[in-house]
Amino acid sequence: MSLTPSLFPELIQALIDDIAAHAEEVTELDQAIGDGDHVFNLQRGLQALHEHASEIAPLDWVAAWQKIGMTVMAAVGGASGSLYATLFIALAKSGRDKVIDISGFSDAFLQAVEAVKLRGKAEVGEKTMLDVLVPVALALRDEAAAGKSLAEILDRLCQVAADGVEATRDMLATKGRASFLGERSKGHIDAGAKTAQLMITAIAAVLKKSCD
């Protein structure tokens, strides 16, 4: 894989645009069963990354992930801030001893998602961003192992992410603020799952374009 963090400025811009386009929708979701700040938290993080984009672009992946993690950690706050910071710091840690091709990345990503589960003391099925991150990580591993093309893999991940979001709708929230609502949390999509999906899809679009 010839992808490098030089793509990073473009990726961040795509994420900023995509989250902005869905800001109201996400806020409505987080207001229904959370506290309504999720989109602002994410946007603060993306903005901070945007400001550091030119520093990150020349780095190797491991250094880039570390820097992304530290930037998110200091900029975001909230539940999602610590979880995404954990994701990237763990990605850097488990990527350190790997060749970052698709297969190396899929391993590292799976380990990073495990770190998120540990940080949040959460599992799949609790109506959180993990309901997107975990199936996406698993699908990535499987597709990579099956030797699919990058384009095929990306399409598959987008599909898995979309399914993951939709699955949160009928779940009972048992982690995060939505859990305070008990049964009242059912019938609403989780905001953090939704933004995870949006970001994965936006990243996929950029990657597909850059590999054409």
For ligand ADP, the binding residues (CB under 6 A) are 30, 34-35, 37-38, 41, 78-80, 83, 120-122, 128-130, 175-177, 190-193
Q: Measured from the CB atom, is 38 or 188 closer to Mg ion?
A: 38
Q: Measured from the CB atom, is 81 or 135 closer to other proteins?
A: 81
Distance of alpha carbon 86 from alpha carbon 98, whole angstroms: 19
Distance of alpha carbon 75 from alpha carbon 25, whole angstroms: 23
Verify binding: residue 135, Mg ion, rule CB under 5 A: no
Is 41 within 8 Å of 81 (Cβ atoms)?
Answer: yes
Verify binding: residue 38, Mg ion, rule CB under 5 A: yes
Q: Measured from the CB atom, is 103 or 179 closer to other proteins?
A: 179
Question: Kind and range of the H or E element at 138?
Answer: helix 130-145
Distance of alpha carbon 166 from alpha carbon 87, whole angstroms: 22
Which of 1, 7, 22, 40 forms a contact with other proteins (CB under 8 A)?
A: 40
Placement of tokens 């473009």 in the chain: 10
We find the least distance from the C-beta atom of residue 191 to ligand ADP, in angstroms, to be 4
Verify binding: residue 36, other proteins, rule CB under 8 A: yes
The token pair at 195 is: 């933004």
Distance of alpha carbon 209 from alpha carbon 111, whole angstroms: 27
Verify binding: residue 5, other proteins, rule CB under 8 A: no
Binding at 108: pick from ligand ADP, other proteins, Mg ion, none (beta carbon under 5-8 Å per type): none
We find the least distance from the C-beta atom of residue 176 to other proteins, in angstroms, to be 5
We find the least distance from the C-beta atom of residue 97 to ligand ADP, in angstroms, to be 26
Max Cα distance, the chain (Å): 48
The token pair at 132 is: 């997107």
Mark 85-124 with x for binding to other proteins (rule: CB under 8 A) and - for no binding.
xx--------------------------------xxx---
Verify binding: residue 181, other proteins, rule CB under 8 A: yes
Verify binding: residue 210, other proteins, rule CB under 8 A: no
DSSP label of 177:
G
Q: How many CA atoms lie within 13 A of 110 on its CB side?
A: 14
Q: Measured from the CB atom, is 38 or 156 closer to Mg ion?
A: 38
The alpha carbon of residue 180 and the mean position of all alpha carbons in its chain are separated, in whole angstroms, by 24
